Amino acid sequence: MSLHPLLKVDISELSVAERIQLAEDLWDSILKKQEELPLTEAQQQELDRRLENYHRNPKNGSSWEDVKKTLRLFPIIFTIIFNIA
């Protein structure tokens, strides 16, 4: 394999847990500097549209708790659909 040019390590030699931690650490470092990643005009317009829709129809949509419950089901649904044991 080859070394990652920035990290100077062979990422494929890291355990899955180490790679997940690396991804989390990388994402956390990005979140700390969100101001360096401004939204595009299209992204801002989409967020404004969704917020306006929420204000007009607050009962439409799902609560965060319901969304988390649904996301937790994805591995189960994936297993059932693709018949993976």
DSSP string spanning 51-79?
A: HHHHHH-TTSS--HHHHHHHHHHHHHHHH
Of 18-27, 41-50, 74-83, the one with minimum mean pLDDT is 74-83
Given a contact cutoff of 8 angstroms between Cβ atoms, the answer to whether 30 and 23 are in contact is no
pTM score > 0.95 for this model?
Answer: no
CA distance 52 to 50: 5
Would you give the distance in Å from CA 53 to the centre of its chain?
23
Residue-wise pLDDT tens digits, 42-79: 999 999 999 999 999 988 888 888 888 888 887 777 67
Would you give the distance in Å from CA 6 to the centre of its chain?
23
